[in-house]
């Protein structure tokens, strides 16, 4: 969803499959903005390097896994990168 001020709001629901086959449900809310020419390149499917735009998220995780239970009770932030055919997000635990 694009706001009046040029910020794109994102809301995504998806399931991750951990290496040990655990399922992790994710609700990820975030925003992306930057110079118009950079955002236009992203929209047009061009490769844009990290740095010239802001793309951050706040995920919440839910899992029944004992091994990954820390995800249920901690706060995380995500840093996104928009590629032409995918979105990459690196998550960081807030300590």
Whether 3 maps to a domain, the answer reads: no
Whether 2 maps to a domain, the answer reads: no
Confidence check: pLDDT of 35 > 90: yes
- Which residues constitute the domain of residue 55? 8-93
Confidence check: pLDDT of 60 > 90: yes
Q: What is the mean pLDDT of residues 8-24?
A: 92
Nearest to 12 by CA among 44, 47, 58: 58
Whether 1 maps to a domain, the answer reads: no
How many angstroms separate the CA atoms of 49 and 47, rounded?
7
Whether 64 maps to a domain, the answer reads: yes
Quickly state the pLDDT bin for 61 (edges 50, 70, 90): very high
Whether 49 maps to a domain, the answer reads: yes
Confidence check: pLDDT of 80 > 90: yes
What was the pLDDT predicted at 1? 81
Which has the higher per-residue pLDDT, 39 or 50?
A: 39
Whether 26 maps to a domain, the answer reads: yes
For the entire predicted model, the pTM comes to 0.87
How many angstroms separate the CA atoms of 42 and 50, rounded?
12
What was the pLDDT predicted at 54? 97
DSSP state letter for 4: T
CATH number, domain at 32? 2.40.160.20
Total domains in the chain come to 1
Strands (E), the chain: 8-17, 23-33, 54-62, 76-82, 87-93
């Amino acid at each position: 969803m694009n706001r009046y001020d040029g910020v794109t709001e994102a809301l995504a629901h998806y399931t991750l499959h951990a290496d040990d086959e655990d399922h992790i449900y994710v609700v990820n809310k975030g925003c992306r903005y930057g110079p118009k020419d950079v955002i236009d390149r992203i929209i047009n499917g061009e490769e844009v390097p990290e740095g010239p735009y802001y793309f951050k998220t706040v995920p919440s995780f839910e899992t029944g896994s004992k091994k990954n239970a820390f995800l249920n009770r901690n706060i995380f932030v995500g840093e996104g990168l928009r590629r032409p055919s995918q979105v990459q997000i690196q998550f960081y635990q807030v300590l």
